[in-house]
Amino acid sequence: MSSNAAFVMAKPPSKSPKLVGLALACGVAGCSAADVPHDDGFDRGVAESALETPTQAITEFNRERIAGDVYHYTLVLRLGEAPNARIRLHRVVRENAPFRPRPTRQAVMMQHGSFSSFTSNFLSHPPDGEGETHHGLAAYLAERGIDVWGMDRRWGTTPAGSADVSDYPSLGFATSVEDIRTSLAFARLVRGVSGADADRMTLMGFSIGAMLTYSYAAAESVRPARERHVKAIAPIDIYAEIAPDHEDLREKACQRRDQGRADMAGGLFDVDNSFIQQLGAFSRAAPDDPSPIWPGLANRQALYTWVGQTYYYYAVTPFYHLNGGTVEGEDITRLDFSSVHRVEEWHIGAPPHEAYVEGVDMDTILCGEGPLPLEDHLREIRVPIFYLGAAGGFGDYGIHSAHAIRSTDVTTHVVRRLPPAGEVSDYGHADLLFARDVEETAWQPLTAWLALQ
């Protein structure tokens, strides 16, 4: 039964308490677990065991058209009793008819970065007046026949305002790795009953989402083959291990970890992202007015400073920045690769809350000194990898991690638009998502690699 199965077609039947993926995927035909095809890479029982949430916990389903026949489905999946025990799942796919995705061979699960969501990182709509044609990496891949999935981590579902964040101390890497496993199992079950290939998927992540990509693949590498959901990984602009000849960067990670642990000991677990939201909103509404959050700068200059000179605040590489821009004197006077409106949109769309422990866990792993949030199995990863970097982001510094795993199938691609001496202004971390020419510089080689997996 493939013609009328989709991400969601009808209210899930109340008599299927465990098979969340099947209950959501099956419509009027009433398919069952027996409808899921078997192959060497798919164990239905293992996938079902990762989906124990009752069907009544599925909420907030939406479907929207992105462009042409590409549609975006979302739902929220409740995972427990804690106040933020839920994830938001996304699917971006071409349709044959309403609620009938086109069957595809390739599928990818995407993980967003900090102060972001799946939508703000991978599915931004073109701002008015900019003349841009792409709708984000997720839509770009879907248009080319890839079934795109994504997961907003638990903190990304926390509502604005004085929300209950009492479970935030537990929302670190270990929790996210388990949630990624649940999301992959969900996606494979849905694909299996909707006529698509139920094979393992490619796991892709941007920024800290790329760090989680490495962490998930490492954790899965020591599971039996029948329990694995990932066939390849595509980390975007990150390192999962710092090369020995960059000991200064490892020491900085240790310093950030120590400060983070001290902050948490003092009770800091919830990051207020209103600063990020306001940077974008004020720049858009009144670019030349004095910044109320950055004294001495105009609103747009404040945004330029944050995205163009990020290395002043977060020195993960010597000239790390979010977006490349022209430096005149001590100031960034313009963004050279990404539309300012798209960068504003990214900031405005930041989730209101974020779990502080996630960043501390990342720095703990990079520091390499225990106790670690996860066991270190980086060198047990054997699946193919495509590392995509930006010269002004993690760039070449991320190549070491790609070769540190055990895989014999390693591809690296660093986007560099300027000579090495110009890295301070070169393609930045987020230009890999938002640059005007990103399709040619970054997405085309990534898509070509995905097609071979």
CATH number at residue 369: 3.40.50.1820
> Is residue 361 in a domain?
yes
Domain extent for 254: 61-263+354-451
Inside any domain, residue 124: yes
Please, are residues 378 and 353 in contact by the beta-carbon 8 Å criterion?
no
Read off the tokens for 44. Answer: 């239905």
Q: What is the DSSP letter of 339?
A: -
Degrees, nearest 5: CA angle 202-113-290: 155
- pLDDT at residue 9 in the model: 32
pLDDT of residue 422: 93
Structure confidence by residue, pLDDT tens digits, 186-212: 999 889 887 777 899 999 999 999 999
At 50, is the secondary structure helix, strand, or coil? coil
* 246 belongs to a structural domain: yes
Contact predicate 362/394, CB 8 Å = no
DSSP-assigned letters across all residues of 341-396: HHHHHHHHT--SEEEHHHHHHHHHHHHT-SS-SS---GGG--S-EEEEEETTTTGG
The C-alpha atoms of residue 358 and residue 338 are separated, in whole angstroms, by 27
> Would 188 be classed as within a structural domain?
yes
Q: How many domains does the chain fold into?
A: 1
- pLDDT at residue 99, as a whole number: 86
The terminus-to-terminus CA distance of the chain in angstroms comes to: 26
At 131 the pLDDT is 62
Strands (E) located in 37-117: 58-67, 70-78, 86-97, 100-101, 107-111
Q: What angle do CA 441, 445, 449 make, to 5 degrees?
A: 160
Domain assignment present for residue 403? The answer is: yes
DSSP character for 441?
I
Q: pLDDT tens track of the chain, all 453 residues? A: 222 233 433 233 332 333 333 434 432 222 333 443 444 344 555 455 555 544 446 778 899 999 999 999 999 999 989 999 999 999 999 999 988 899 999 999 999 999 999 999 999 876 655 666 679 999 999 999 999 999 999 999 999 999 999 999 999 999 999 999 999 999 998 898 877 778 999 999 999 999 999 999 999 999 999 999 999 999 999 999 999 999 999 999 999 999 999 999 999 999 999 999 999 999 999 999 999 999 999 999 999 999 999 999 999 999 999 999 999 988 999 999 999 999 999 999 999 999 999 999 999 999 999 899 999 999 999 999 999 999 999 999 999 999 999 999 999 999 999 999 999 999 999 999 999 999 999 999 999 999 999
Exposed/middle/buried for residue 354 (C-beta within 10 Å: 0-12, 13-18, 19+): buried
Q: Is residue 333 part of a domain?
A: no
Q: Do the domain assignments include residue 289?
A: no
Can you state the angle between helices 356-367 and 208-221, rounded to 10 degrees? 60
Residue 410 lies in a domain: yes
pLDDT digits (tens, 9 = 90+) for 409-430: 999 999 999 999 999 999 999 9
